[in-house]
């Protein structure tokens, strides 16, 4: 470290170079913060602009009903995508909620500090695994070894994709719900134990109800994450390029995100009938709005937990 330069009274009194530097730095930091606003504006602008072109030019009569999603032939049946997305999300939550919550309860209420210190980072490794990798795992391992045994196809299916997305969501569910349970004051647990309650009673009747907004937040944020997940459903969802309407988890289907990915990865990229390119932005806008609403609700639940205790 260099030796400190003494500061004179004049320097402190007059707005000199030090003062000018402060203003410049503050301005630069403000501009950096503004970049986020700019990005948001650009996202909303591009989505709305192209989606508007799509919506104003499409033949709506041809678009709704149980037809399917064939963008290159000009058939854009939105419910086909929505139903597939919902099926994947439902399967994912059935996998992720109990397992994530169970892991969280164990880490927060039962694990000794030393054990926790090892297990928690290990669980975080699962969070760091890229979703393409889980897509590969879902298609090459889960589909033939798990889905095929419970009555499905050994190839890709919404079930396999849902399981993959579920595994992906476990760390997210676990970390939000663990935070919520750890923020429950110790006194509540001690009071419960003092009344003679067993550990299991304390956990299920005292800690879980006290942490309920955090658990709801974990659920909502995980749903939002599952709807927006792309690579697992794209690789393991079992439908490429186009899909007919399907409401069975054991068949292949095209979710909103997979529809976008497969349209963009076609050999000729995004060409086809006139509005194919714009349809990407229309689906993107739906996805953006759905996840935005879910995230706002989820965040407000997280905020409630933090304020309460």
Partner 1 sequence: MAFTQPLVSANDRQRIEANVTGSRVDVAGAAFKGLLMLALAFSLAVIGLLIATVVVDGWDQIGTRLGGFLNGTLRSLSDSDRLGVHQGLYGSLWIGVFVAVLAFPIGISAAIYLEEYAKQTRFNSFLQLIIRNLAGVPSVVYGLLGLYLFVNDGWIKDNITNGRSVISAGLTLAILVLPIVIITAQEAFRSVPSGLKEGAYGVGATQWDMIRTQMLPYAAPGILTGTLLSMSRAIGEAAPLILIGAISGGLTANPGFTDLGALDERFTAMPILITTWTQNSGRDAGFSTAAAAAIVVLLVFVLLLNLVAIILRNRFENRRSS
Taking the least distance from each CB to partner 1, the nearer of 61 and 200 is 200
22 binds partner 1 (CB under 8 A): yes
Q: How far apart are CA 115 and CA 117, in angstroms?
A: 5
Nearer to partner 1, 151 or 196 (CB): 196
The stretch near partner 1 (CB under 8 A) out of 33-41, 69-77, 205-213, 244-252 is 33-41
**Are the C-beta atoms of 278 and 51 separated by less than 8 Å?**
yes
Confirm or reject binding of residue 152 to partner 1 (CB under 8 A): no
Identify which range of 24-32, 56-64, 69-77, 180-188 contacts partner 1 by CB under 8 A: 24-32
Taken in order 222, 223, 226, 228, the sign of the CA dihedral is negative
From residue 136, how far is each of 44, 123, 161, 226 by CA, in Å? 32, 20, 10, 17
- The correct pick among 15, 62, 66, 140 for binding partner 1 (CB under 8 A) is 140
Considering only residues 182 to 211 of the shown chain, the ones binding partner 1 according to CB under 8 A are 198-200, 203-204
Burial class for 75, CB neighbours closer than 10 Å (0-12, 13-18, 19+): middle
Query: Which C-beta is closer to partner 1: that of 57 or that of 269?
Result: 269
Looking at residues 238 to 277 of the shown chain, list those that interact with partner 1 (rule: CB under 8 A): 240, 257, 260-261, 264-265, 269
Shortest spacing between CB 80 and partner 1, in angstroms: 18
Which residues are within 8 A (CB) of 73 and not within 5 positions of it... i.e. 6 or more apart?
242, 272, 273
Q: Going by C-beta distance under 8 Å and a sequence separation of 6 or more, which residues neighbour residue 156? A: 139, 143, 235, 236, 237, 238, 239, 252
State the Cα–Cα distance between residues 89 and 227, nearest whole angstrom. 6
Question: Count residues contacting partner 1 (CB under 8 A)?
Answer: 93
Nearest distance, CB of residue 65 and partner 1, angstroms: 26
Contact in structure between 179 and 107 (CB atoms under 8 Å)? no
| Positions in 80-109 near partner 1 (CB under 8 A) | 98-103, 105-107
Out of 113, 125, 149, 268, which residue is the one contacting partner 1 (CB under 8 A)? Answer: 125
171 is a contact residue toward partner 1 (CB under 8 A): yes
Q: Which of 59, 66, 124, 190 binds partner 1 (CB under 8 A)?
A: 124
- Specify the DSSP class assigned to residue 62: G
Nearer to partner 1 by Cβ, of 75 and 123: the residue is 123
């Amino acid at each position: 470290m260099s030796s400190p330069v003494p500061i004179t009274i004049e320097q402190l009194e007059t707005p000199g170079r030090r003062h000018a530097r402060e203003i410049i730095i503050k301005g630069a930091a403000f501009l950096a913060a503004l970049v986020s606003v700019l990005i948001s504006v650009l996202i909303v602008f591009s989505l709305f602009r192209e989606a508007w072109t799509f919506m104003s030019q499409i033949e709506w009569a041809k678009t709704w009903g149980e037809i399917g999603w064939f963008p290159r032939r000009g058939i854009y049946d939105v419910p086909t995508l929505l139903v597939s997305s919902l099926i994947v999300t439902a399967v994912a939550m059935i996998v992720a909620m109990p397992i994530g919550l169970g892991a969280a309860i164990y880490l927060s209420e039962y694990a000794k500090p030393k054990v926790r210190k090892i297990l928690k980072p290990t669980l975080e490794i699962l969070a760091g695994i890229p979703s393409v990798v889980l897509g590969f795992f879902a298609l090459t391992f889960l589909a033939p070894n798990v889905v095929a045994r419970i009555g499905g196809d050994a190839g890709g299916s919404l079930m396999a994709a849902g399981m993959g997305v579920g595994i992906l969501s476990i760390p997210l569910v676990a970390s939000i719900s663990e935070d919520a349970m750890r923020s429950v004051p110790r006194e509540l647990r001690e009071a419960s134990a003092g009344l003679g309650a067993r550990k299991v009673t304390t956990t299920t009747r005292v800690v879980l109800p006290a942490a309920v907004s955090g658990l709801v937040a974990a659920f909502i944020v995980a749903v939002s994450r599952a709807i927006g997940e792309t690579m697992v459903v794209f690789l393991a969802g079992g439908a490429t390029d186009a899909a007919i309407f399907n409401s069975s988890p054991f068949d292949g289907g095209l979710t909103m995100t997979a529809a976008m990915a497969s349209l963009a990865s076609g050999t000729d990229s995004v060409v086809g009938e006139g509005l194919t390119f714009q349809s990407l932005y229309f689906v993107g806008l739906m996805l953006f709005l759905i996840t935005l609403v879910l995230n706002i609700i989820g965040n407000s639940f997280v905020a409630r937990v933090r304020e309460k205790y």
